[in-house]
Amino acid sequence: MEVSEIKISYSLPKIKKIKIHNSSDLYQVALNQWSQDTIEMQEEMKVILLNRNNVVIGIYELSKGGISGTIVDIRILLSVTLKCLASSIVLLHNHPSGNLNPSQPDCSITSKIKTACTYLDITLLDHLIITKDDYFSFADEGKL
């Protein structure tokens, strides 16, 4: 019987470090990681993983859905966060409709993720809803 070996590496590639100062910085990082061909077609959820100094460790594509929604599995989100040794995260998702107002499911999943993060000493810094032209920040609007 053969068992696969688990390998863990914490060396980051030699790329320019991006430090996050505000939601505008987050939006710029998000736009650079989003396909402009699908941002108005298919809803996606991604997560920005950050270290204790708010420097971006990486971005993980959590899910792709349909025109009006996508599935978020909190267990997968937190497992990726823990494996990356991230101290904080920012949720990102697009609204293909162009409507930046958070839906009730958006608010509900944000609340659940924030609660789950507190159990693991992970900070949920923000949740951005993005379009090609603008964004909505849960933190800026006092909804976090």
Q: How confident is the model at residue 54 (pLDDT cuts 50, 70, 90)?
A: very high
Compute the distance between CA of residue 44 and CA of residue 89 in angstroms, rounded to an integer.
Answer: 16
The CATH classification number of 23-137 equals: 3.40.140.10
pTM: 0.89
pLDDT at 37: 87
Q: Domain residue spans in the chain?
A: 23-137
Mean pLDDT of the 129-141 span: 97
Q: Is the pLDDT of residue 76 over 70?
A: yes
